[in-house]
Amino acid sequence: MMAAPAFWAAGKTDANSGATPVASAFKLKYAPSLDMFREHAGQDPIDNISFCHDAGFRAMFDNGLLGRPIAEQEKIAAHMQKLNMELGPFVLYADFSVTSFVLNNQEVRDMLKAKMLEGVELVKRTGVKWALVVPGRYDERLHRDFQTANVIDNLRFCSDILEPAGLTMVIEPLNTIHDHPGLFLTGIPQAYEICRAVNRPVCKIVNDMYHQQITEGNIIPNIDGAWSEISAFHIGDNPGRAEPTSGEINYLNIFKHIYSKGYQGVLCMEHGKSMNGKEGEARVIKAYRECDSF
């Protein structure tokens, strides 16, 4: 049996019947994207999933899952199931260029119905549990309170379609300062208020901690305040949106806090790398070992 790669030697290894030992699983379900470790695993998503499993990850995510060929979707899901790995949220609707959820009209609802039904079909093929939704742009010609009411009504409409399929919609607040100016949903307290008003078990929050560090900070108190409505997390340090330990966010303490609350869901590694090439990929794994060492 070959020695474990040095960059995951911090994890315990098991003498599996393969060339490379498998690192011990992380305490939380950090989820790399399907192309995060291409320098080590190549282009094939199945090889990437296997590589991530051997490195100790027990989840993956793919924002673009809905756009993949059906046969590839099914192949990814089957391999994940074989390895007992969780498939994190995919992007079901995230159009940053138009007003949509903030409006009350039939055209918007027809569009949303079609998108939600696409998600229902994807569940049937893959068993994925979460679908990411961004409610679109803010409308400067309509009072914010009317827009909030419309967003709540449209999310209830979507929930009625998704709930029978067992698909949870996670709405994502994004920062308007650096990345996405003009969007309606920007903060965790705002998202919490909306989810409470929607009052459907399949309408929850994905807390993107990179975006929230820019928008409002106060990450751990906001996690606690919105805990009942959070179903997924996104990870990324700031500035730079690279792996933990590359910026100002204390992910060691955040992960320890989330773990202490009994969180069993997925934390999507929606970030880049602070270094290029294989060295950069190795640094990502090492950073997660460091931040998972609580």
DSSP 76-120: HHHHHHHTT-EE--EEEE--TTSB-TT--SHHHHHHHHHHHHHHH
Can you give the pLDDT at residue 17? 42
Q: Give 172-216 pLDDT, tens digit per residue.
A: 999 999 999 999 999 999 999 999 999 999 999 999 999 999 999
- Beta-bridge mates of residue 61: 33
Tell me if 119 sits within 8 A of 167, measured CB to CB: yes
Tell me if 33 sits within 8 A of 241, measured CB to CB: no
Rank 14-18, 21-25, 241-245 by mean pLDDT and report only the highest: 241-245
Q: How confident is the model at residue 22 (pLDDT cuts 50, 70, 90)?
A: confident
Query: Is the pLDDT reported for residue 20 higher than 90?
Result: no
Quick one: which of 152, 56, 172, 174 has its CA closest to 101?
Answer: 152
- Cα–Cα distances in Å, from 157 out to 142, 162, 169, 185, 195? 21, 9, 12, 18, 13
Tell me what the mean pLDDT of segment 44-54 comes to. Answer: 97
Cα atoms found within 13 Å of the Cα of residue 41, Cβ hemisphere only: 22
Q: Domains in the chain, ordered, with CATH?
A: 29-291 (3.20.20.150)
What does the DSSP assignment read for 83-95? TT-EE--EEEE--
> One-letter amino acid identity for 109?
R
**290/212 Cα distance (integer angstroms):** 22
Query: Is the pLDDT reported for residue 6 higher than 90?
Result: no
pTM for the predicted model, two decimal places: 0.94
Quick one: which of 192, 190, 212 has its CA closest to 145?
Answer: 190
Tell me what the mean pLDDT of segment 86-114 comes to. Answer: 97
The alpha carbons of the chain give a radius of gyration, in whole angstroms, of 19
Q: Give 207-244 pLDDT, tens digit per residue.
A: 999 999 999 999 999 999 999 999 999 999 999 999 99
Cα atoms found within 13 Å of the Cα of residue 255, Cβ hemisphere only: 26
Question: How many residues does the structure list for the chain?
Answer: 294
Which letter does DSSP use for residue 61 in this model?
A: B
Query: Is the pLDDT reported for residue 5 higher than 80?
Result: no
Which letter does DSSP use for residue 70 in this model?
A: H
Residue 34, SS3?
coil
